[in-house]
Amino acid sequence: MRHNGSYSASPRIGLIEWLPWLLGVAAFFYLPEYLSLGARILVYILYALSVDLVVGYAGIVTLGHSAFFGLGAYAAGILSAKVGVTDPMLQMLVAIASCALLGAATGALILRTRGLTLLMLTLAIAAILLEVANKATSITGGADGLSGITVAPIFGLFRFDLFGKTAYWMCLVVLFICWWITRRIIYSPFGASLVGIRENHVRMASIGSPVSMRLLTAYTLSAMLAGVAGALLTQTNQFVGLNVLSFESAGELLVMLILGGVGRIYGAFVGPIVYMIAQDQLAKQFPEYWSLGIGVLLVAIVLFARGGLLGIVDLVVAHAKRGKSAFAGKEAP
Amino acid sequence: MQELIASLVSVAFHGTAYGMILYVISVGLSVTMGLMGFANLAHGVFAMAGGYLLTTAMDSWGVPFPLALVISFVLVALGSVVLERLLYARLYSAGELAQVLFTIGLIFIATAVARLIYGTLQQPVHLPEYMKGQFSLLGRDFPTYRVFIILFGAALVSALWFGVERTRFGAMVRAAVDNRAMAQSVGIDTQMLFMATFALGSGLAGLGGALGAEIIAIQPSYPFEHLIYFLIVVAVGGLGSLRGPFVAALVIGIADTACKYWVPEFGAFLIYVATILLLLWRPAGLFGRQA
């Protein structure tokens, strides 16, 4: 049923897969007034991509990925505001390293469990980080958020400007690199074994796949990606708020992902784009109706369109093809 | 010394009252999760609904407090049956992710509806006069309402225990928790059974939300904010049991009160750490069956 990411699919980058990047570049030139929204969307695409890797491909249902997103955001922010390290690359490296550490450490502990216990543990880890960020006000700024973040020019060349041009390019390039890596992972034998584990972990174990090691690797990789997204958010906003760690934002991210389609790389692209543009247009005017709409949408997708928007596109395309061939069949005799 | 004892007693007392509320709210979640394996993150919605119903019934309809409690229980139970038949039942065989997303969707809806009807402020509870005073015991004063909560909770625990251990319905529930397929094949209508348990569990959550409205403030963010506590009670106690969540709720209620009293700078940090350690040691919870 899932076309993308299956081992038999061709790993070559198809023509249509260049479309998002073309759009990303075009948006820079044609929608200059929306660059800050654009950068935020790119960050959330990366975040959704990292969640898709664990939830969609490895089948680890987690509610706690905001822990890594938040850790990346705070690592970059604290480094700049409290330690005085303003180099964006260095901030990003530290964010990745800290997320890798946390991901490997917590993954090694919690991935042995399943079901409710796993759900609970991921939630508890995110809750701990939220609690720490909330209480350690001298380092994190607590509920007021962390401000006073300065980011030096990238490679000493590209200054972060007021209009968010540099930030947009930075997000686009970083997302491109991460997308390429994720895509390679997904289409590799390793990626295929993840899908196998998602479908039936007992069978994968019995054919000799090192299930827990695979899951841990995927979890850690995904944590690092989420950390990159967090650091990017800090660098584009030059501010970190507690909400990056909150359960609501983790839930919101899941909404974006399922809206696009889970377990198919580009669901992580479509979801945040649609969600955040709609949010930008609607949420401020009708905040109550906005979250009501999100809830109804989520329920409807789960009940009627499990594949999300891309799943619907698949259905329509399949239907059109079938319609055409039936038509051809009638004409043929 | 006197002071230490006084604070110990106070923490134990308030913690027990809080634990009772947590138990009344969470026990239904434990049983339904054990019975159908449904990851119902929206359980807090029923508790919040109970709280809102209580305040509405008392303030707008002029209903006396005891009757308002009954109304919260009954209406939430009825509402949950409608939800169960219309929505939940379609997802029993769906994967965990679908259930999680679906119930998060329900939380979003409930939060929005609560905000539309009642606004974002927390709902004040106007307790009747006879619940407001202090109750003297062994030379100490205890707030009457908390005493009532503890006694009520204890009575409810006994009733539930009797219902599950000593009645035909309880035996059917236990059989279905142990092995659903087998229970079905000996002629137990597990679908009906689940509907009834779901209604009872949700009704109890509504009752717990109403009873605890003075302790756990009723506001639109309720289902998100307190979800983790309800889940901790269930996960630590173990799925499908009555005793597990009871012990877990009391321990968490007292520990949380103690933490907030003595080390407020840590907040809920210690509770979460303890939960993680315990779940790593016993993944199925204190009283759950180990896989």
* pLDDT for res A10: 66
**What does the longest C-alpha to C-alpha distance in chain B come to?**
62
Identify the CATH number of the domain defined by range A15-285: 1.10.3470
- pLDDT at residue A327 is higher than 60: no
Token pair of B45 as six digits: 């919605």
Sequence-distant (6+) residues with CB within 8 A of A124 are: A64, B228, B232, B272, B275, B276, B279
pLDDT tens-place string over residues B273-291: 888 888 888 888 888 765 4
Which amino acid, residue A41?
A: I
A contacts of B91 (beta carbons < 8 Å): 302-303
CA gap B154, B152 in Å, rounded: 5
- pLDDT at residue A189 is higher than 60: yes
Q: Under an 8 A CB cutoff, do A251 and B108 touch?
A: yes
* pLDDT for res A91: 92
Q: What is the DSSP string of B83-138?
A: HHHHTGGGGTTS-HHHHHHHHHHHHHHHHHHHHHHH-SSPPP----GGGTSEEEET
- Reported confidence tier of residue A333, pLDDT bands at 50, 70, 90: very low
Buried b (16+ CB within 10 A) or exposed e, B183-195: beeeebebeebbb
A contacts of B224 (beta carbons < 8 Å): 247-248, 251
* pLDDT for res A177: 95
Domains and CATH numbers, chain B: 2-121+142-281 (1.10.3470)
CA gap A135, A139 in Å, rounded: 9
Cα torsion A225, A226, A231, A236: sign: positive
Q: What percent of chain B has pLDDT over 70?
A: 99
* pLDDT for res A273: 92
Cα–Cα separations (whole angstroms), residue B261 to A154, B158, B254:
48, 30, 10
Sequence-distant (6+) residues with CB within 8 A of A60 are: A54, A111, A118, A215, A218, A219
CB nearest A295 (choices: B109, B116, B266) = B109
The stretch A208-215 carries a mean pLDDT of 91
- Reported confidence tier of residue B46, pLDDT bands at 50, 70, 90: very high
Closest-CA residue to B259 (of B223, B229, B239, B217)? B229
* pLDDT for res B289: 63
Q: Is B48 on the interface with A (CB under 8 A)?
A: no
The Cα of A64 is separated from the nearest Cα of chain B by a number of Å equal to 12
The Cα of A327 is separated from the nearest Cα of chain B by a number of Å equal to 36
The stretch B189-197 carries a mean pLDDT of 88
- Reported confidence tier of residue A325, pLDDT bands at 50, 70, 90: low
Q: Under an 8 A CB cutoff, do A135 and B267 touch?
A: yes
**CA-derived radius of gyration, chain B:** 19
- pLDDT at residue A329 is higher than 50: no
- pLDDT at residue A331 is higher than 50: no
Buried b (16+ CB within 10 A) or exposed e, A133-151: bbbeeeebbeeebbeebeb
- pLDDT at residue B113 is higher than 80: yes
- What's the pTM? 0.88
Q: Is B71 helix (H, G, I), strand (E, B) or coil?
A: helix
pLDDT tens-place string over residues A108-143: 988 988 887 888 889 889 999 998 998 888 888 888
* pLDDT for res A330: 43
Q: What percent of chain A has pLDDT over 70?
A: 94
Contact A160, A152 (CB under 8 A): no
Which value does ipTM take for this structure? 0.83
Q: Is B85 on the interface with A (CB under 8 A)?
A: no
Least confident stretch, A52-61, A96-105, B172-181: B172-181
Share the mean pLDDT of chain A: 86
Q: Is A156 helix (H, G, I), strand (E, B) or coil?
A: coil
**Best residue of A51, A302, A304, A306 to probe chain B, by most B CBs closer than 10 Å:** A302
The stretch B212-218 carries a mean pLDDT of 88
- Reported confidence tier of residue A172, pLDDT bands at 50, 70, 90: very high
A→B contacts (Cβ < 8 Å), by residue, are 55, 61, 63, 109-110, 112-113, 115-117, 119-121, 123-125, 127-128, 131-132, 134-135, 247-248, 251, 254-255, 258, 262, 288-292, 294-299, 301-303, 306
- pLDDT at residue B3 is higher than 80: yes
The stretch A166-178 carries a mean pLDDT of 92
The Cα of B97 is separated from the nearest Cα of chain A by a number of Å equal to 6
- pLDDT at residue A163 is higher than 90: no
Q: Where are the beta strands (DSSP E) in chain A?
A: none
Q: Is A240 helix (H, G, I), strand (E, B) or coil?
A: strand
Q: Is A209 helix (H, G, I), strand (E, B) or coil?
A: coil
A contacts of B275 (beta carbons < 8 Å): 120, 124
Cα torsion A290, A295, A297, A298: sign: positive
Share the mean pLDDT of chain B: 88
Continuous segment of H or E residues that includes residue B15: helix B2-36
B contacts of A115 (beta carbons < 8 Å): 37, 39, 96
Closest-CA residue to A237 (of A5, A29, A44)? A44
The stretch B115-133 carries a mean pLDDT of 84
The Cα of A309 is separated from the nearest Cα of chain B by a number of Å equal to 16
Q: Under an 8 A CB cutoff, do B102 and A303 touch?
A: yes
Q: Which residue has the higher pLDDT, B74 or A16?
A: B74
* pLDDT for res A108: 92
* pLDDT for res B133: 78
Q: Where are the domains of chain A?
A: 15-285
Pairing type for strands B134-137 and B140-143 reads antiparallel
The stretch B108-113 carries a mean pLDDT of 91
CA gap B145, B273 in Å, rounded: 31
Closest-CA residue to B205 (of B35, B34, B51, B14)? B51
Which amino acid, residue B124?
A: P
The stretch A245-271 carries a mean pLDDT of 88
Q: Under an 8 A CB cutoff, do B37 and A306 touch?
A: no
CA gap B167, B190 in Å, rounded: 16
* pLDDT for res B107: 92
- Reported confidence tier of residue B55, pLDDT bands at 50, 70, 90: very high
